[in-house]
Amino acid sequence: MAYYQGIAAAIRDKAPLPVSVDDALRSMALLEAGLDSHRQRRWITLKNHH
Protein backbone atom coordinates (compact mmCIF):
# COMPACT_ATOMS: atom_id res chain seq x y z
CA MET A 1 0.00 0.00 0.00
CA ALA A 2 2.88 2.36 0.79
CA TYR A 3 4.16 2.03 -2.78
CA TYR A 4 0.85 3.19 -4.27
CA GLN A 5 0.58 6.00 -1.75
CA GLY A 6 4.09 7.07 -2.81
CA ILE A 7 3.09 7.01 -6.48
CA ALA A 8 0.00 9.10 -5.74
CA ALA A 9 2.11 11.60 -3.78
CA ALA A 10 4.61 11.79 -6.64
CA ILE A 11 1.83 12.58 -9.09
CA ARG A 12 -0.16 14.92 -6.85
CA ASP A 13 2.53 16.65 -4.86
CA LYS A 14 5.63 16.10 -7.00
CA ALA A 15 7.13 14.04 -4.15
CA PRO A 16 10.08 11.75 -4.94
CA LEU A 17 9.17 8.41 -6.49
CA PRO A 18 9.06 5.53 -4.00
CA VAL A 19 11.45 3.50 -6.19
CA SER A 20 13.87 4.54 -8.90
CA VAL A 21 12.97 4.03 -12.54
CA ASP A 22 15.90 1.61 -12.87
CA ASP A 23 14.66 -0.48 -9.93
CA ALA A 24 11.15 -0.55 -11.39
CA LEU A 25 12.47 -1.72 -14.77
CA ARG A 26 14.58 -4.44 -13.13
CA SER A 27 11.55 -5.64 -11.17
CA MET A 28 9.43 -5.75 -14.30
CA ALA A 29 12.12 -7.74 -16.14
CA LEU A 30 12.29 -10.23 -13.26
CA LEU A 31 8.51 -10.65 -13.20
CA GLU A 32 8.40 -11.08 -16.98
CA ALA A 33 11.15 -13.72 -16.84
CA GLY A 34 9.23 -15.58 -14.16
CA LEU A 35 6.10 -15.62 -16.29
CA ASP A 36 8.08 -16.74 -19.36
CA SER A 37 9.73 -19.49 -17.32
CA HIS A 38 6.34 -20.74 -16.16
CA ARG A 39 4.81 -20.64 -19.65
CA GLN A 40 7.77 -22.37 -21.29
CA ARG A 41 8.33 -24.76 -18.38
CA ARG A 42 12.07 -24.07 -18.38
CA TRP A 43 14.66 -21.86 -16.72
CA ILE A 44 14.97 -18.40 -18.26
CA THR A 45 18.27 -16.55 -18.34
CA LEU A 46 17.85 -12.95 -17.27
CA LYS A 47 19.14 -10.34 -19.65
CA ASN A 48 21.64 -7.88 -18.26
CA HIS A 49 19.74 -4.77 -17.20
CA HIS A 50 21.52 -1.65 -15.98
Tell me how many degrees the CA angle 11-17-18 measures, rounded to the nearest 5.
Answer: 120
Write the pLDDT tens digit of every residue in 1-50. 999 999 999 999 999 999 999 999 999 999 999 999 999 999 998 877 55
- Model-wide pTM > 0.75: no
| Dist CA 30 CA 47 (whole Å) | 9
| pLDDT of res. 50 | 54
The secondary element (H helix, E strand) that includes residue 8 is: helix 2-13
Asked if 2 contacts 8 with a C-beta cutoff of 8 angstroms, the reply is no
**CB 11: neighbour CB atoms within 10 A?**
10
